[in-house]
Amino acid sequence: MKEILAKQEFDFVKAEDKEFILAFDAEMERLGYTCGNEAGTGHCWGKYMIIYTKAGVKSKKSYARVYIRDNDIVLRLYLSNIDKHALEIEQAPDFIQEAFIGKFPSCDHCHEKTECVHQKRYAIAGKQYEICDGKAFWFFKPRVAELPEYLKLFAVFYPARQKKPK
């Protein structure tokens, strides 16, 4: 990842954003996730996008992404079964809670359906939330100092698997 971010096309990325990307990448590798040492096209989310999948698995399910935009980066975690982990979210710092209860993720009911396949519903601190999965669990301007909290949240949803004894 360091080699990728050193390329001229990434000169626009701020030093503190590169620092976060490198630290996050190292931790994801340690946890068994990989981006395949690639930063692809960001499509509508930014100039570039780094996609983390489970290493050594054929499925290319996304577990996390880093969107590299013109002026900042966004960390996106792919999380499900929010109700199951509501207590951990309620006890998390404000910058973690914001992705679950802030204004940004509100569902706009764009599909005018009551059972939209793009909608996530959950309760935090007794309040019901509906969010669009296209806007779900974005953490704006993540910093290295916050990385332990992002990893703690990630571990709640994706606990390390114990290897079975042979």
pTM assigned to the model: 0.90
| More confidently predicted of 22 and 58 | 22
Summarised one tens digit per residue, pLDDT across range 4-26 is 999 999 999 999 999 999 999 99
Please state the rounded mean pLDDT for residues 31-56: 92
Predicted local distance difference test score (pLDDT) of residue 5: 96
> For 60, which DSSP code?
-
Is pLDDT at 30 greater than 90 in this prediction? yes
Q: Closest by alpha carbon to 82, among 104, 62, 105?
A: 105
Cα distance between residue 98 and residue 134, in whole Å:
16
Summarised one tens digit per residue, pLDDT across range 119-132 is 788 999 999 988 87
Please state the rounded mean pLDDT for residues 146-160: 96
Report the range of poorest mean pLDDT among 2-11, 100-109, 148-157: 100-109
Predicted local distance difference test score (pLDDT) of residue 115: 64
Q: Is the dihedral of CA 75, 79, 83, 85 positive or negative?
A: negative
The per-residue pLDDT of the chain, averaged, comes to: 89
Summarised one tens digit per residue, pLDDT across range 71-89 is 999 999 999 999 999 999 9
